[in-house]
Amino acid sequence: MKKYLFLLLLLFIPNTIYALNYPDVNSKYVEVYDLTDDKILYELNSNDKISIASLTKIATTITAIENIKNLDEKVTITQDILNTVRWDASIAGLRANDQLTYMDLLYASMLPSGADATNSIAILSSGSIESFVEKMNLLVNKLGLTNTHFVNVTGLDINNHYSSADDIRKLLAYSLKNDTFKKIYTTSEYKLSNGLNVYSTINKYNKYSNSDTSKILGSKTGFTLDAGYCMSSLINKDDHEILVITLKADKINNSYYNLVDTLKLIKFINDNYDNQLLIKKNTLIKQLNVNLSNIDSYSIYNSNNIYKMLPNDYDNSLFKVVYIGIEELDYNNKKNDNIGKINYYYDNELLLSEDVILNSEIKFNILKYIKKYLIYIISIALLIIFILVFIIKLKRRK
């Protein structure tokens, strides 16, 4: 089978492309990632090892989910556990002798970023914080997070506890595949078994700026002196899930720039990206010659609209359609036969591959056959006549 490359120019516009300039941000480390397309849209110092504050609790939560057999099991909070919480840590407000489920503790850890809940999860499920951290680092190794190492479950500043924007993105992308984690991550308010309501810290960060955070489907924030203000977020743009990571931002005039930067990046994505229609359904892709049939050619049309999340100034010349298959048909090809496939590429990335099914009956045409092979037919007929004449003469002689 031969390869036929058909370059489709869909937009009759000049091919001048302008670079997409992301907005300036206060955060020192950033990554914007299209989870649906598995593609980094923007990054700033995303592989640098840094403190990540309470974004650590993403790892704590998914580790707990994967290692605790029954999240609905009730456990009792003790004063000894509460005594392990550092004075400068954020807390959910748990009290000694509270009876809560592990699921309660996960919400209390993620939403208000409660170190009292986080330490309780570690100690009650693994016997000690150290044992639980070992499980977190096993997950780090499993995911290949080469710029990450954990020492505690809260993210409070300590030597040898670090990650990077890119590793947080990988960890969050992995965690969001878990339905329980995703439900917790995208919840803004939850009532614990003891009657205590816990709320997402995004409300605290938005207290003074009073911005529209409705496009943020889920988030985890964090702050320490070393890490600055940090935030991870999940948004949706044209059915594409997109992660936004902003780390080491400042607080300026009561505005928390982890949130300010996140909202700025979200607006930029919404203003500058779309699910671009690269080719419409039923576009002519190729015509094949047909031999000895009632039709002279067979037209191949695509059967799908092809979309890709791209900036509005995308380079349409990078879109290519490649047909691979039979180059010439005849009556031996039957209806519903698979005669090839169509591959769609953008910037050499395969977007979709679809089979080409013959949807017409190719009938044999005797007149075309005679016309094509007339000289051979006449030659054979003359040869037969010559042989017959020769045989007849030979018999007469005898």
- DSSP output for 156-223: ---TT-BB-HHHHHHHHHHHTTSHHHHHHHT-SEEE-TTS-EEE-THHHHTTTT----TT--EEEEEE
Percent of residues, the chain, with pLDDT higher than 70: 92
What's the pLDDT score for residue 167? 98
Structure tokens at 361: 């009956």
CATH 3.40.50.1000, applies to 29-249: no
- Between CA 184 and CA 169 the distance in angstroms is 17
CA of 391: how far to CAs of 92, 344, 388, in Å?
Answer: 111, 64, 5
What's the pLDDT score for residue 147? 98
Which residues partner with 352 through β-bridges?
Answer: 344
Position 7 pLDDT exceeds 50 = no
Residue pair 285/323 in contact (Cβ under 8 Å)? The answer is yes
Position 19 pLDDT exceeds 70 = no
Q: What letters, b where the CB count within 10 A reaches 16 and e where it falls short, cover 3-15? A: eeeeebebeeeee
Listed by start position, the domains of the chain span 29-249, 366-397
Lowest mean pLDDT among 65-69, 207-211, 280-284: 207-211
- Confidence class for position 1, pLDDT limits 50, 70, 90: very low
Residue pair 341/325 in contact (Cβ under 8 Å)? The answer is yes
Quick: pLDDT tens for 339-395.
999 999 999 999 999 999 999 888 876 666 566 666 766 777 777 887 877 787 777
| Cα 302–chain centre separation | 25
Quick: pLDDT tens for 75-118.
999 999 999 999 999 999 999 999 999 999 999 999 999 999 99
What's the pLDDT score for residue 5? 39
Residues in Cβ contact with 321 at an 8 Å cutoff, skipping those fewer than 6 apart: 6, 7, 8, 279, 285, 302, 342, 343, 344, 345
What's the pLDDT score for residue 395? 76
Position 12 pLDDT exceeds 50 = no
- Confidence class for position 295, pLDDT limits 50, 70, 90: confident
What's the pLDDT score for residue 368? 60
Lowest mean pLDDT among 55-59, 195-199, 293-297, 310-314: 293-297
Residues in Cβ contact with 211 at an 8 Å cutoff, skipping those fewer than 6 apart: 259, 260, 263
Position 16 pLDDT exceeds 70 = no
What's the pLDDT score for residue 18? 40
- Between CA 299 and CA 266 the distance in angstroms is 43
Torsion of CA 54, 59, 63, 66, to 10 degrees: 120
The whole-chain average pLDDT of the chain stands at 90
Position 23 pLDDT exceeds 90 = yes
Position 145 pLDDT exceeds 60 = yes
H helix and E strand count, the chain: 11, 20
Quick: pLDDT tens for 162-198.
999 999 999 999 999 999 999 999 999 999 999 999 9
DSSP 98-163: -EEEHHHHHHHHHSS--HHHHHHHHHHHHSSHHHHHHHHHHHHHHHT-TT-B-SSSS----TT-BB
Pairing outcome for strands 228-237 and 240-249:
antiparallel
Q: Measure the CA angle with vertex 312, ends 307 and 318; round to 5°.
A: 60
- Between CA 231 and CA 241 the distance in angstroms is 16
